[in-house]
Structure 1
Amino acid sequence: MAAATTWSSFFLITDARPAHASCIPRERDALLAFNEGINDTDGYLGSWQQGGRRQHCCRWVGISCNKVTGHVTQLDLGQSFLVGHINPSLISLEHLEYLNLNGTGITGPNGVIPEFLGSFQSLKHLDLSEMPAFSGILPRQLGNLTKLEYLDLSTSNSAVYSTDVSWLSRLPRLVYLDMSYMNLSSIPADWPLVVNMLPSLEYLGLRGCSLSSASQPLTHLNLTNLQHLDLFYNNLSHPIASSWFWNITSMEHLNLDETYLYGAFPDALGNMTSLMSLRFSHFADSVTIVYPTTMTVDLKNLCDLERLTLDESLSGGNITEFIDNLPQCSSNRLQYLAMHSNNMVGMMPTDVGKLTSLQLLILSHNNITGPIPPGIGDYTYIEYLDLAHNYLTGSIPPHIASCTRLVHLLLSDNRLSAHIPSKIGMLRNLTELDLSRNSLDGEVTREHLVISRA
């Protein structure tokens, strides 16, 4: 996962080659025993051999050692396409701080994550993500890894499950935790209380975990460092305001896509001044009827907000009021605003151009009326502009020719009339222009420009 790459930077991965100390014979033997249970068809572990110059295991691929003591501190076999079994001999690596088996076909006995992984008392980084051979219950013994700072258990096969995550509370140093697509449907509803006991946590990935609720109230907030929360694709289905995370002002990225939370967004959202990205889209027919949702929150102080995605999620609202509530900071950073199919009404405000950093604006499939304001020409960074399937009237403002970075301009299925501004043909980056199903006249011709007029 991309996010995992970002947070792994806190634990430096080095290709240490000890200049003085040799590897410990007992640890070398443990690695050789592990190698015996591995099917290495690509010869990735070709350097793992006994005798001669190969005696120095700290020079083997994927192995790093302490330069002074010679103890093995890192075992990094991620994305190596190895298959086989994790041999308990690895317990001899008592000083192991970093273990990465990401993307391999390595597994434990009977396909489960082995309990003995909880024996690595020095471990700070454990990555068991995207390991398709794993299945069964997640061992509670991972709670013994009290020095752990990074834990990635994310998967894509949902064959690994847990009925209790209380053991996480014994990992107070965790900075990064990803359990995405693991089956957590049977864990107690008070799981947020467990997460709240991880004061160092910055990243929490729980997408697609079959969680049924995120409404547990937190009387005392310990998650003062949490920056990234991903709850995508969990059918939470309770009032959005009752969720536990709205008072976390350190939050930078919040993904609530396809969570089916409903009701009014809480005013506390307006106090999340560190927020850079908020995603709350449903992409399901009639979802706003079953789960009516509104957003009238004042977001004017969210000066760091760069991305706001609300596609197919709101049951209505006034576009003028909504835009007036967007960040109004001297340095406006909002670059991405997507709100198609939200039953929005009203007219676009005349000062719409205050969002000067916008690169993408999607307001299609709403009930917006009135003219396209001339202020649209102030979007000098805009690349994608979609106002299709509304009730816009009047002409296309010639000021749109100031949007020199436009690549896609979609204005179909409106009630636009008058002459098409000839200056549109001068937008050299424009590759798609859809003006179909309007009452416009005139022509725009330019080589390599796809134009829809029918």
Structure 2
Amino acid sequence: MGYAVIMLLIVFLCHEVSSISILPHKHQTISLLKFKQSFTVDPSASYYCRKPYPKTSSWNTSRDCCSWDGVVCDDITGHVIELDLSCSNLTGTIDSNSSLFQLSHLQSLDLSLNNFSNSHISPEFGKFSSLKHLHLSDSNFSGQIPSEISHLSKLHSLRLSTIYDSNKLRLTTHDFKSLLQNLTQLRELHLFGINISSTIPLNFSSHLTTLNLGYAGLYGIIPESLFHQPNLETLDLGFNYELSGYFPKTKWNSSASLIHIGLSGVNFSDNLPESLGYHLTSVRYLFLQSCNLRGPIPESLSNLTRIENLYLSYNSLNGTIPPGMLSLPSLKFQVQFTNLDNFRGQSAAGSCGCQPLFKP
């Protein structure tokens, strides 16, 4: 009897495991094919991609949906957990009835660089409770970003930038603060070109490594706490022309990790502090054009031995260009100063005017 019971249990468990792995595939296959059928393929839809190709074109029932281009399933449950259709030449709209939202176990969704024909981002995106990565950049969405996105509390990266068609998407001041309130696990936030028209809130995740809020209509003063984010590697607030700021007088908490700083067009009305070259030792990209900077260039900038791109043009800097800046070992490209009459002495940069200087 004991042996028979054990065998029955084995058969039962095998049946259950088989059901777990087969049923999701059947339902998900139907959902994915319906999603595919709601679009046409148009090469111009992914015009800005280097190598676009229609991933959905190869989707058919002759193969398991988990082996389709852009689809990844969980090895145990069989649920679709990743869907990457970026640069897939998709043209059409996504409404709240889309079969996409039946894929409730998604952890990563990338629909960037397609053409969703000015459709709004559906509130249904907020129901992907397991989602860690949501990438919808440059896909021709328009309108208000739904507050339901803030329900995605497990998000590690959120990319909604509209680099090629800016300001079609909006995010109100209240929604911006509320959005951040729940995204406590966020590592990357890309909202370049989103019409936020807001001051910068204070409640960013302490896990944040990348913050891109360029060309977003931000105004007011940059909170100094932003410079003290402990894990920040990329800070880009460029081209927010009504935004002002002050460089921290003490060491930036994030200085050891900062690699990319983009503050072009932000009004600092200040000298470059000597501390800049002592604390930002890991920085590779420093963009400070048109920041209303004045005074001398600090000698300490010669300490930025890892810097590759340095932009200081269209400011009111004066004095002598530190000789060490002309021999920084990693510098590949440097935009020179527009007001060379303010500089004393001769240098390799002095003959370049406003033109780029390329280092061999």
TM-score by length of 1: 0.62
Q: 1: CA distance between counterparts of 2:217 and 2:250?
A: 17
- In 2, Cα distance between equivalents of 1:240 and 1:219: 11
Alpha-carbon contact 2:332-2:358 (below 8 Å) kept: no
In structure 2, the residue matched to 1:179 is 191
Q: Any idea what SS the aligned residue of 2:29 has?
A: helix
Q: Report the counterpart of residue 322 of structure 2 in structure 1.
A: 323
Conserved 8 A contact 1:240-1:265: no
- CA deviations over 1:386-408 (Å, ceiling 9, x no partner): xxxxxxxxxxxxxxxxxxx5xxx
CA distance in 2, matches of 1:362, 1:153: 41
Aligned-pair CA distance for 1:100: 0.9
- How many corresponding residue pairs? 318
Q: Which amino acid aligns with 2:170?
A: Y
Could you tell me which residue of structure 2 aligns to residue 357 of structure 1? Answer: none
1:251-310 CA distance string (max 9 Å, x none): 11111223343222234423222222211113xxxxx8xx46234433344332333211
Runs of 4+ in 1 over 6 A off after TM superposition: 242-245
Cα distance in 1 between the residues matched to 2:331 and 2:226 = 33
Q: What residue number does 2:100 align with?
A: 90
* CA–CA distance in structure 2, aligned partners of residues 212 and 219 of structure 1: 15
Higher helix share: 2
Return the match for 2:352 from 364, 374, 399: 364
Distance 2:160 2:249 in 1: 24
Counterpart selection for 1:333 from 330, 334, 338 = 330
- Structure 1 gaps of 5+ residues are 1-19, 283-287, 353-360, 367-382, 386-404, 406-454
Match of 1:81? 89
Distance 1:77 1:152 in 2: 14
Q: Which residue of 2 aligns with 1:293?
A: 294
Match of 1:309 among 308, 311, 323: 311
Root-mean-square deviation over aligned CA pairs: 3.3
Given candidates 245, 251, 259, the residue that maps to 1:252 is 259
Corresponding residue for residue 347 of structure 1: 345
Aligned: 1:160 with 2:169: yes
* CA distance in structure 1 between the aligned counterparts of 2:180 and 2:143, rounded to whole angstroms: 18
Structure with more relative contact order (C-alpha pairs < 8 Å, separation 6 or more): 2
Cα 1:34–1:293 change in 2 (3 A) is: same
Aligned to 1:397: none
**Cross-structure match for 1:111:** 119
| Residue 137, structure 1, aligned to residue 144, structure 2 | yes
Letter in 2 for 1:230: D
Q: 1:92, CA displacement in angstroms?
A: 2.5
Measure, in 2, the Cα distance between the counterparts of 1:146 and 1:310: 39
Q: Deviations over 1:65-96 (max 9, x none)?
A: 12222111111111111122324432322221
Distance 1:256 1:280 in 2: 5
In 1, the alpha carbon distance for the partners of 2:196 and 2:274 equals: 30
Secondary structure of 2:92's match?
strand
Distance 1:295 1:152, change over 3 A: farther
Conserved in 1, the CA contact under 8 Å of 2:294 and 2:318? no
SS in 2 for 1:341: coil
Q: Which amino acid aligns with 2:119?
A: G
Q: Percent identity?
A: 29
What is the alpha-carbon distance in structure 2 between the residues aligned to residue 336 and residue 362 of structure 1?
A: 15
Shift of 1:169: 3.1
Question: Counterpart amino acid of 2:322?
Answer: I
The structural deviation recorded for 1:362 is 6.3
**Secondary structure at the residue paired with 2:203?**
helix
